[in-house]
Amino acid sequence: MFFGTRQDEHASFELLDRFVDGGGTMIDTANNYAFWEDPTGRGGAAETVLGAWFAARPGVRDRVYLSTKMGAEPRVPGGYPVNREGLSATVIKEAIQGSLERLRTDRVDLYWAHMEDRSVPVDETVGAFGELAASGVVGRLGASNHATWRVEQARAAARSLGVAGYTALQLRHSYVVPRPGVLVHGHRFGSVSDETLDYAASEHLDIWAYTTLIEGAYVRADRPLPEGYDHPGTTRRLAALNEVASELGATRNQVVLAWLIGGSPAITPIVRVSTAAQLDEALAGARLTLTDEQRARMDAAD
């Protein structure tokens, strides 16, 4: 999310207004967005813009489901990823206060651990998040970019401590996937796997997916898929995607969003947009429904 960095406050407000006017309800940010675009080397700009927007639009905060993340903010400019704030109890308590102040709200609906922090005992992290949930400052908890076995370990720790545990997972996912062994982003355990789907379905966790539209690769000739996606399965999936898109008179992006949302388990796609046209396309995609036959065809391409 580039609110306050690539997009100035005016452009950001326009997108946000259009989003809620178009029926959108869920906004996901992070306390470190977007440190890599900010001259200060620090995050916080996106939350600050959102806070200003909530302040300028009375009543809107209650109409949206707001989530933010902590744990991956650099401790010092240039510190990411080695020198990031992490998931200690002290940092969690400080981070939520910082986010609430910037967002100008008294609660977030879902609070994410942005990345794992194996230097901190899992009981400490889980206990601190559990306290936030118990106090009502956060509605529920989720884990992003965590290996499934680490999520299970944290959930078991939460059960033992008698506190709320993670009930949502946030990972990268889309219709086409890279070849085995190819890491297309910086998180070793940051992608949805078949194990993720099984875990979420079995334990009733929600899955939110990021980079669902692969930086525009489905629709923009100037943004080809990264080389790691090159394999016959991708070719077959793109062919199926083209077929279904033309049957529905929809864009490839829209079919990908519909495929994610209507699957089993259902996946909540997160879409980052920088123009009104992209926003409108995504909102329409999220409302699109595939027939069983179309979904089966898309699933079978591998």
Partner 1 sequence: MYFGTRTDERTSVEILDRFVDAGGTMIDTSDNYSFWSDPSGFGGQSEAVIGRWLAARPGMRDRVYLSTKVGAQPVVPGGYPDNLEGLSAATIKNAVQRSLGQLGTDHLDLYWAHVEDRSVPVEETMDAFGSLIADGVVGRIGCSNWPTWRVEQARHAARGRPGFTILQLMHSYLQPRPSAPVAFQSQRFGWLTDETLDYATTVGLDIWVYSPLLKGGYVHRDRLTDAYDHVGNTRRLAVLDLVAAELETTRNQVVLAWLVGGEAPITPMVGCSSVAQLDEALAGVRLTLNAEQRARMDAAV
Query: What does the binding site for partner 1 look like in residue numbers (CB under 8 A)?
Result: 118, 147-149, 151-153, 156, 177-182, 188-189, 193-195, 198-199, 202, 228, 230-233, 302
Task: CB nearer to partner 1: give 63 or 188.
Answer: 188
Which tokens in the block code for residue 239?
């062919």
Q: 25 or 160: whose CB is closer to partner 1? A: 160
Dist CA 128 CA 91 (whole Å): 9
Q: State the Cα–Cα distance between residues 189 and 185, nearest whole angstrom.
A: 10
CB of 118 to partner 1, least distance (A): 8
Q: Closer CB to partner 1, residue 8 or residue 198? A: 198
Considering beta carbons, is residue 174 or 254 the nearer one to partner 1?
A: 174
Backbone angles phi and psi of 22, in degrees to 5: -80, 5
- Least distance from C-beta 264 to partner 1, angstroms? 14
What is the nearest approach in angstroms of partner 1 to the Cβ of residue 299?
A: 9
Q: How far apart are the C-alpha atoms of 37 and 263, rounded to whole Å?
A: 34
Classified as helix, coil or strand, 245 is: helix
Rg for the chain, CA atoms, rounded: 19
- Residues 6 or more apart whose CB falls under 8 angstroms from that of 284 comprise 250, 254
Least distance to partner 1, CB of residue 290, Å: 18
The residue among 54 and 229 lying less far from partner 1, judged by its C-beta, is 229
Identity of the residue, 9 or 206, whose beta carbon is nearer to partner 1 in the bound complex: 206
- We find the least distance from the C-beta atom of residue 213 to partner 1, in angstroms, to be 18
Give the nearest distance from C-beta 183 to partner 1 in angstroms: 9
Helix (H, G, I), strand (E, B) or coil at 270: coil
CB neighbour burial string for 126-161, b if at least 16 within 10 angstroms, e if fewer? bbbbbbbbeeebbbbbbbbbbbbebbeebbebbeee
Where are the alpha helices (H) located in the chain, listed in sequence order?
Answer: 9-21, 45-56, 89-103, 122-135, 148-161, 194-203, 232-248, 252-261, 276-286, 292-300
| Residue 102 or 146 with smaller CB distance to partner 1 | 146
Q: How far is the CB of 227 from partner 1 (least distance, A)?
A: 9
